């Protein structure tokens, strides 16, 4: 199957094994490279439902890259072939003029054998996918596109802290970001319980780390916070019930709940989060887990806007920078989808 957002493959004894072989080409600030940084040349294709794509949306907005990198948004559901542009008039992306993301992958690789995943960077002139390597993509937004960052853009990947950011992000990926999928798509009781224990052990570790510091690394928001946030945002609406990650809800873990609300209420985080798309995707697409396709009505999400008190820990969310301006009207998530 062909989605990014957790379509399973299974390994021995029923464990979930994510295919992490992505197209490794990079867009770099080197004019002699095959894919040099160039405003307007590339289109970021995302789905707001997907946590990996949500990262790219957040980083693009925090850095102010909207004018340099356009964005196409797929709908929350898809078939086995590909994410589709069903939100757009006539079901076509208005820039790429294609109905499904698969077309961009096949334009470059006619026999592409892997999943058609978001986020993906597509070269507008050729209609060909450049990369879907989502972990590298956001780092390159921070380090390769600096000439096109907005005035006041934060440094999400400060050089002096990169080792620690990478270390924390790696732990979060294995036990939390991917850990929830290991629970949800486990094919055996033992594999599920192993993943469940690792997930909540890491969440407890994160709670301890964040109890007396506002952000994961240093006193500002970094790439590590972006990577954790997108899983936390989906925890109660999806992972707690749908993926059986049910020792505790996020709202029952005081430190992480306050931390998540702090980020959610920071421009660029909550206003890029679409809970309607999130719930629609997981509950309607994962029919092996939810064969009826019924989307639960709850939980009540209004408490995401309640006071969090994390300001008392100090820290400077944007460092020496400033919050991003409101999103473009064409990229605004309807308030009823997140507030």
50 is catalytic: yes
User: Which of the following is catalytic: 50, 74, 183, 245?
Assistant: 50
Nearest alpha carbon to residue 154 among 241, 215, 232, 200: 215
Could you tell me which residues come within 8 angstroms of residue 38 by beta carbon, excluding any fewer than 6 positions away?
Answer: none
Looking up tokens 């969090």 gives: 308
Active site (annotated) includes residue 134:
no
Interior angle at CA 294, CA 293 and CA 296, nearest 5: 135
The set of residues, in sequence order, having a beta carbon less than 8 Å from that of 152 and lying 6+ positions away, is 64, 318, 321, 322
Q: Indicate which residue of 42, 134, 148, 181 is catalytic.
A: 181
Q: Which residues, other chains included, contact 248 with Cβ-Cβ below 8 Å and sequence gap of 6+?
A: 200
Token pair in block for residue 281: 């995707």
The backbone region for 330, taken as left when phi is positive above 0, alpha when psi lies in -120 to 50, beta otherwise, is alpha
Q: Among residues 47, 49, 10, which one has the least CA distance to residue 284?
A: 49
Q: Is the peptide bond before 339 cis (omega within 30 degrees of 0)?
A: no
Q: Which is it for strands 42-47 and 70-74: parallel, antiparallel or unpaired? A: parallel
- Under a CB-based contact definition with an 8 Å cutoff, are residues 168 and 216 in contact? yes
Peptide bond into 108 cis (omega under 30): no
The tokens for 77 are: 């559901």
Structure tokens at 236: 């109660």
- 196 three-class SS: helix
Q: Give the Cα separation of 249 and 241 in Å (integer).
A: 9
Catalytic residues: 50, 181
């Amino acid at each position: 199957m062909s989605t990014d957002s957790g379509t399973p493959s299974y390994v021995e004894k029923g464990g979930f094994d994510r295919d992490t072989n992505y197209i490794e080409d990079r867009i770099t600030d080197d004019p002699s490279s095959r894919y040099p940084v160039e405003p307007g040349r590339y289109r970021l294709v995302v789905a707001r439902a997907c946590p990996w794509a949500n990262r790219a949306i957040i980083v693009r907005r925090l850095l102010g890259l909207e004018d340099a990198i356009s964005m196409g948004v797929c709908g929350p559901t898809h078939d086995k072939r590909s994410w589709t542009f069903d939100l757009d008039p006539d079901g076509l992306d208005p820039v790429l003029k294609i109905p499904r993301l698969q077309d961009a992958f096949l334009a470059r690789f006619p026999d592409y054998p892997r999943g058609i995943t978001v986020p993906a960077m597509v070269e507008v002139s050729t209609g060909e996918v450049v990369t879907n390597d989502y972990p590298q993509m956001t780092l390159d937004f921070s380090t390769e596109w600096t000439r096109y960052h907005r005035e006041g853009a934060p440094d999400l990947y400060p050089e002096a802290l990169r080792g620690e950011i990478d270390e924390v992000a790696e732990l979060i990926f294995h036990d939390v970001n991917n850990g929830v999928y290991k629970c949800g798509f486990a094919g055996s009781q033992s594999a599920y319980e192993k993943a469940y224990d690792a997930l909540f052990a890491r969440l407890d570790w994160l709670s301890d780390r964040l109890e007396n510091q506002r952000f994961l690394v240093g006193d500002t928001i970094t790439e590590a916070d972006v990577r954790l946030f997108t899983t936390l945002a989906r925890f109660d609406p999806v992972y707690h019930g749908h993926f059986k990650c049910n020792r505790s809800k996020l709202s029952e873990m005081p430190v992480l709940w306050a931390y998540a609300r702090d980020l959610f209420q920071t421009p660029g985080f909550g206003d890029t989060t679409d809970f309607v798309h999130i719930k629609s995707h997981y509950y309607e697409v994962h029919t092996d887990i939810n064969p009826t396709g019924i989307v639960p009505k709850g939980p009540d999400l209004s408490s995401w806007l309640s006071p969090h008190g994390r300001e008392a820990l100090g820290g400077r969310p944007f460092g020496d920078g400033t919050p991003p301006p409101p999103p473009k009207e064409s990229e605004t998530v309807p308030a009823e989808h997140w507030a």
